[in-house]
Structure 1
């Protein structure tokens, strides 16, 4: 099953990862470690709450104006 991973720098160092299809999150020191942790977390989640097959999500970006 191919899923999406969104990785962001963590304020305390390392990375935070989020899988939008399941809502699982985790962290790690490197990209490789973070993805491995997300894979494990998501696998455990899917053992309890399987996903119904669906089309791939649309991942895009957008801008907002920050007033200040």
Structure 2
């Protein structure tokens, strides 16, 4: 059996709109499409991190979800 691993990162998503449930729904829809087209089951892990970046020009900080 052969396995492959990929990492996908998204930055700048609005956490008010892209909730855990919304991201799960999007993943499920696309995973079903891939399975129907290829017979390959796609699994994923969702990890939520917050990246803090200092913006020096105007001395504020930006949050990326």
Q: TM-score higher than 0.5 here?
A: no
Higher Rg:
2
Q: Give the structure with the larger strand fraction.
A: 1
Normalised to the residue count of structure 1, the TM-score between the two structures is 0.38
Higher relative contact order (CA 8 A, sep 6+): 2
